[in-house]
Amino acid sequence: EVQLVDSGGGLVQPGRSLRLSCIASGFVFDDYAMHWVRQAPGKGLEWVSSISWNSGNIGYGDSVKGRFTISRDNGKNSLYLQMNSLKSDDTAFYYCVKDNGYDILPGGNWFDLWGQGTLVTVSS
Amino acid sequence: DIQMTQSPSSLSASVGDRVTITCRASQDIYNYLNWYQQKPGKAPNLLIFATYNLQSGVPSRFSGTESGTDFTLIISSVQPEDFATYYCQQSYITPITFGQGTRLEIK
């Protein structure tokens, strides 16, 4: 079955760290760029970060730049998001997302497979 | 950043109605516009990519059009399973940005 399974969410205090993971199956993981997209409860979608098939190109949204780090391990079919210096505004469902192509250069990308999401709650 | 403005933010429709949802980009995005459907408690699902192209498995009652920087999602005859929230997304340039969403409710 083609799927993405997100994990690693939970309750964390402001200023602390958390690492999200995503395991892919049913497709050739290292053929595709991957992304993280988040959604605060009851709110809209916000792009967080992207990584190309070989980790050669990486991008971040302004709200997480310098605090979050995206990475992947193609040998383990896995995508990660290391989140440091967490703030209450980071509270959201985090979705692992597959791109239609292998790179993250602008133009012609769409998100054709989403994980089920993992909830991160930042609160004291 | 490119701003994506969706309208309306919500609408009510009856089964069988024709529904249109519009997304306006703050600058030219050269047809790099995608549409997603999200049902409560679920992850979004790709409906249409690159303005016009129906994702595999999506019913043909869904279609997309464009006029300059205005993009439209059309549902020709709304079915019960279509009641959900719809998002547009531009992928022309980073940061990738989404519209604020349009909630389609049953009248």
pLDDT value for B84: 98
Residue B74: predicted pLDDT = 98
Q: In A, which residues are within 8 Å of B93 by CB distance?
A: 106-107
- Output DSSP code: residue A59: E
Is residue B3 within 8 Å of residue B53, measured between CB atoms?
no
Per-residue model confidence (pLDDT) at position B39? 98
Tell me the average pLDDT across B49-71: 97
Tell me the per-residue pLDDT of B3-12, one tens digit each, with 9 for 90 and over. Answer: 999 999 999 9
Structure confidence at residue B53 as a pLDDT band (50, 70, 90): very high
Q: Which residues of B touch A106 (CB under 8 A)?
A: 32, 91-94
Q: Is the pLDDT of residue A107 over 80?
A: no
- Asked if the C-beta of A104 comes within 8 angstroms of chain B's C-beta atoms, the answer is yes
Nearest by CB: A115 against B43, B89, B93:
B43
Distances from the Cα of A81 to the Cα of A38, A50, A67, B91, angstroms: 12, 10, 10, 21
Residue A108: per-residue pLDDT: 81
Q: Is the pLDDT of residue A105 over 90?
A: no
Per-residue pLDDT tens for A48-93? 999 999 999 999 999 999 999 999 999 999 999 999 999 999 999 9
Task: Answer whether A114 touches B (CB < 8 Å).
Answer: yes
| pLDDT range class, residue A8, cuts 50, 70, 90 | very high
Q: Specify the pLDDT at position A68.
A: 98
Which one of B96, B97, B100, B102 would you mutate to disrupt binding with A, by most A Cβ within 10 Å of its Cβ? B96
Q: Which residue bears the tokens 């309750």? A: A11
Return the amino acid letter for A35.
H
Contacts of A49 (CB under 8 A, 6+ apart): A35, A36, A58, A59, A60, A61, A64, A68, A70, A81
